[in-house]
Amino acid sequence: MKEEFVGRKGVSLERFRTLCAVAEAGGVMNAAGGDPNRQSLYSRQLKELEQGLGLGLLDRSSSPNRLTTTGAEVERAARTFLGEIGRLLEIDAGREPVVGIGAGESIIQWLLLPRLAPRAGLGGVMLRFHNLKARVAEERVRSRRLDLAVVGVADSPADLEAETLGHYGMVLVASKGLLKRGKIRLERLAGMRLAVLEGSGRVRRRLAELEAGGGPTVGLECTSYPQVIEACLEGGFVGIVPKIVRTASLPPDLEIREVPELAEITTDLTMLWHPAAYEDRAELRKVIGWLRGKR
Nearest in space to 215 (alpha carbons), one of 182, 175, 235, 188 = 188
Q: Is the same domain home to 282 and 157?
A: yes
**Band of pLDDT at residue 281, cut at 50, 70 and 90:** confident
Q: Is the same domain home to 210 and 259?
A: yes
**Band of pLDDT at residue 282, cut at 50, 70 and 90:** confident
Report the range of poorest mean pLDDT among 71-75, 127-131, 159-163: 71-75
Tell which of 67, 87, 107 closes a domain: 87
Q: 50 in a domain, yes or no?
A: yes
Q: 3 in a domain, yes or no?
A: no
Q: Please write down the HEC assignment for all residues of 98-129.
A: EEEEEECHHHHHHHHHHHHCCCCCCCCCEEEE
**Band of pLDDT at residue 186, cut at 50, 70 and 90:** confident
**pLDDT above 90 for 215:** no
CA distance linking residue 291 with residue 295, whole number of Å: 9
Q: 5 in a domain, yes or no?
A: no
Tell which of 87, 118, 135 closes a domain: 87
Nearest in space to 28 (alpha carbons), one of 54, 67, 2 = 67
**pLDDT above 50 for 165:** yes
Q: What is the DSSP string of 204-233?
A: HHHHHHHHHTT--EEEEEESSHHHHHHHHH
Q: Is the same domain home to 130 and 211?
A: no
Q: Is the same domain home to 153 and 18?
A: no
pLDDT digits over 33-71, tens only? 888 888 899 889 999 998 888 888 888 887 777 788 898
Mean pLDDT over all residues of the chain? 84
CA distance linking residue 186 with residue 50, whole number of Å: 58
Please tell me the pTM assigned to this model: 0.69
**Which one is predicted more confidently, 6 or 281?**
281
CATH code, domain with 272: 3.40.190.10
pLDDT digits over 70-120, tens only? 988 888 888 878 777 776 776 656 667 789 999 988 889 888 998 898 887
pLDDT digits over 259-273, tens only? 887 877 887 889 999
Tell which of 87, 109, 124 closes a domain: 87
Percent of the chain with pLDDT over 70: 93
Percent of the chain with pLDDT over 90: 20
Q: Is the same domain home to 160 and 196?
A: no
Separation in Å, CA 228 to CA 236, 237, 248, 258? 11, 8, 16, 16
Q: What is the mean pLDDT of residues 182-206?
A: 81
- The tally of domains found in the chain comes to 3
User: Is 236 in contact with 229 (CB distance < 8 Å)?
Assistant: no
- Judged by DSSP in three states, 164 sits in strand
Give me the pLDDT at residue 1, please: 47
Give me the pLDDT at residue 92, please: 58
Q: Is the same domain home to 253 and 177?
A: yes
**Which one is predicted more confidently, 248 or 166?**
166
CATH code, domain with 22: 1.10.10.10
Q: Please name every residue paired with 58 in a beta bridge, in sequence order, or none if there are none.
A: 67
**pLDDT above 50 for 191:** yes
Q: Is the same domain home to 76 and 104?
A: no
Q: Is the same domain home to 23 and 35?
A: yes
Angle between helices 13-25 and 69-92 (to 10 degrees): 110
Largest CA distance in the chain: 75
Q: 1 in a domain, yes or no?
A: no
Q: 127 in a domain, yes or no?
A: yes
Q: Is the same domain home to 250 and 201?
A: yes
Q: Is the same domain home to 146 and 279?
A: yes
Q: Is the same domain home to 256 and 125?
A: no
Q: 6 in a domain, yes or no?
A: no
Q: Is the same domain home to 20 and 81?
A: yes
Q: 285 in a domain, yes or no?
A: yes
How many beta carbons lie within 10 A of that of residue 237, not counting itself?
A: 25
Domain that holds residue 48: 13-87
Give me the pLDDT at residue 31, please: 85
